[in-house]
Structure 1
Amino acid sequence: MTASSVPSAPSVSRKPALSAQQPPPLHLPELARRLATEYLPEPPTPRRAAEPLDGLIQTILSQQNTAPITRRQFEGLKAAYPRWEAALADGPDGIEAVLRAAGGGLARVKAGYIHALLAELDETRPSLSLRETRDLSDEAARALLEGLPGVGMKTASCVLLFDLARPAMPVDTHIHRIARRLDLVPAAWNAVKVERWFAEVLPHDWATRYTFHVAAIRHGRQTCRARHPQCDRCVLRDLCPSAALLGPGEAGAGQTAMLRP
């Protein structure tokens, strides 16, 4: 890899620390410990994907999709296009047809994102690959990812966490909801601000952030649901100011789609 192929870290204007505006509660480590014990007592060994581009495309597919549909769509793409160059050549209509055959919504939108992503890599990189991100700093890898079409902060954070074993902290709807209910962050904060806050207050290591991310999502799916939260069996009940307001849980739906895993 030549020096010119490695993107330099952009000059970033320093934003005020959100943790100064909203200091983390003293019991945050206890929250993290309980979630880990309940949902992920043995975190996996960190690994880096051989081709992070695959992970990025899976993450795009997973948005507003269930995990089984995401898997079917990705497997359909890999079967139709053993190399991503073939998907680029087939165009957005061909990609859309493959996604529709696998089921799931937003096929046209996601096909457009994937084709635009591949076209950008074809124009700017030596090959249709993101393997070089494995050797970049966290900041440079994020800058490269977020510079691609359709890739925002959360999508980049998922690739960093799951495919590059970097200490990112993506915030999905489950984690956002839990953070508000636990009064960790102001209710008016959006997911971007909540992610920035967690990035400031959680220890900067992969295992801690991976465990918190996955455990909190499982907590949101199984217990702290959007509708009918199961407060009566919540491991955080005595630390949650919302428990008394939400009341005892009852069986119900209200699941939201997840990015990964």
Structure 2
Amino acid sequence: MEGRITRSAAAKEAAQLAAATAASIQNASPSGTQNTAMPLKRKTKRNTTVAEPDINELPHNLGRASVPAANDTPGPLSVTTDQVKETKPLVTKGKIDVIKDELQDTVDKATTTLAKIQGGRLKSNNPYGLTPGFSPFPDWLHPTRQECEEVNRLLSSVHGEVIAPATIPEPSLTVTGCGEVPSVLDALIRTLLSGATTGNNSAMAFQGLVQKFGILQDGIGKGSVDWDAVRQAPVKDIFEAIKSGGLAEMKSKRIKEILNMVYEENMQRRDAFLKAKKEGTAEPPGANNETELQKQIEIDRANEHVLSLNHIHSLSNDAAMLELVKYPGIGPKTAACVILFCLQRPCFAVDTHIFRITKWLGWIPSEKVDEVKAFSHLEVRIPDHLKYSLHQLFIRHGKSCPRCRAITGENSEGWEEGCVIDHLVKRTGKRKGAFESAPKAKNKRKSRGKENDDESE
């Protein structure tokens, strides 16, 4: 995998490129965050009796957004606020603005120069052709930091300010959401269920799994569906459990395949830990970022057949992305949602609404771009501290704005209400003010058989 250019290293690498012609650039991926866990209780209890679901249609399927009260403080993804708490400003506001502009220019030049050295091709060993740390459009210098700040401000004025939660809420048994739960495996399956359907349907599908297979009442997996019971069940039983959620035939097969893969990987990691203790051999990936307690918990989970992907907390963002997209039916959007909502790391998931609006804003090229390339580009260009809020705001706006919905035009209902970002967008499509959206992209994805995690319009 190519070395990642982060914003903190871009200035240094740009200087190296200017001083030494075609010097090779390497920059280590950021170390992964450690997750904390409590010791495993050996016995787990199943309970198949749950309260009658109170299922309500969500404004979107991509996790919950927090609207702050007057005394609220931003969560861990609000980088700028945390930095203010930790350090005192050393320069005036005017100088900070100059520095930001200069840093943005440096990142632009460094990215462009690197692409030229490599002949404009950034090869990556993954099924979706992702280019971690690099934009597939190095000459496309939008969005700038200022553009991101302006759109975030304008959309917040209409839809409310969005702040990442400081803690992840306890998992709901009636709402799937898109990964805003403590368990990585839960987040992955919940997100898979929410793909290409409504929030109501995905919630019913998840409720079907709860009713059919029960949940773990204590131990490491407390609050999670008994995923090992799901793994051992025939595909037809999984299908029956989730059939109310849509696309059940395909999703039931993928859930079964994913859980079988997770089981095998859990066993392999357990064996690697035990062998490392006994013979001093290499530990599995991410182990260097885990405590001895966390390693022992992995071993105990595997021994008790409590399926888990929580070791992904110990991986860098890039490694976590590549780890997640290897599972059947899990594409960059689903993986990015898990990273953003469950791992609580900055990551800019791109769905159909975000793809449409960012194209209208000119943040991505209008030609030869799909959602995967858009993700790779926007992940580099959008500042980390705005990824959570812009992700949520674009989805809210894309579903509610009469002028920015999937298919709209001057004769559409509510068009006269206007749009807060109207002066910034250039709407394109088959007819004036219209945009051809989901169907073709979805059909193409289905025919590839790679991923079907688009949300409903």
TM-score by length of 1: 0.82
2:167 to 43, 47, 52: 47
In structure 2, what is the Cα distance between the partners aligned to 1:155 and 1:43? 21
Letter matched to residue 234 of structure 2: G
Paired position in structure 2 for 1:235: 420
In structure 1, what is the Cα distance between the partners aligned to 2:184 and 2:455? 16
Whether 2:331 is the aligned partner of 1:159: answer no
Paired position in structure 2 for 1:106: 247
In structure 2, what is the Cα distance between the partners aligned to 1:172 and 1:151? 13
DSSP 3-state at the match of 1:31:
helix
Decide whether aligned partners of structure 1 residues 138 and 47 sit closer, same or farther in structure 2, where only a CA change above 3 A counts: farther
Whether 2:351 is the aligned partner of 1:210: answer no
Whether 2:256 is the aligned partner of 1:115: answer yes
| Deviation of 1:37 (Å) | 3.0
Q: Any conservation in 2 of the 1:40–1:211 contact (CA below 8 Å)?
A: no
Paired position in structure 1 for 2:373: 193
Q: Any conservation in 2 of the 1:19–1:200 contact (CA below 8 Å)?
A: no
Aligned length: 241
Query: Which consecutive residues of structure 2, in runs of 5 or more, have no partner in the other structure?
Result: 1-31, 33-122, 169-180, 215-225, 268-301, 410-414, 440-452
Paired position in structure 2 for 1:145: 324
| Deviation of 1:19 (Å) | 5.2
Decide whether aligned partners of structure 1 residues 259 and 241 sit closer, same or farther in structure 2, where only a CA change above 3 A counts: closer
TM-score by length of 2: 0.48
Q: How does 1:1-261 map to 2 (within 5 A)?
A: 12=124, 15=131, 17-18=135-136, 20-26=138-144, 27-48=147-168, 49-82=181-214, 83-100=226-243, 103-126=244-267, 127=302, 128-188=307-367, 189-205=369-385, 208-223=386-401, 224-228=404-408, 230=415, 232-242=417-427, 246=432, 259=455
Letter matched to residue 157 of structure 2: T
In structure 1, what is the Cα distance between the partners aligned to 2:313 and 2:210? 22
Letter matched to residue 75 of structure 1: Q
In structure 1, what is the Cα distance between the partners aligned to 2:233 and 2:162? 43
Query: Which consecutive residues of structure 1, in runs of 5 or more, have no partner in the other structure?
Result: 1-5
The structure with more radius of gyration: 2
Q: Any conservation in 2 of the 1:221–1:255 contact (CA below 8 Å)?
A: no
Paired position in structure 1 for 2:35: none
Identity %: 30
Paired position in structure 1 for 2:46: none
DSSP 3-state at the match of 1:151:
coil
DSSP 3-state at the match of 1:170:
coil
Letter matched to residue 139 of structure 1: D
In structure 2, what is the Cα distance between the partners aligned to 1:234 and 1:119? 47
Q: Which has the higher contact order (CA 8 A, sep 6+)?
A: 1
In structure 2, what is the Cα distance between the partners aligned to 1:56 and 1:50? 11
Paired position in structure 2 for 1:3: none
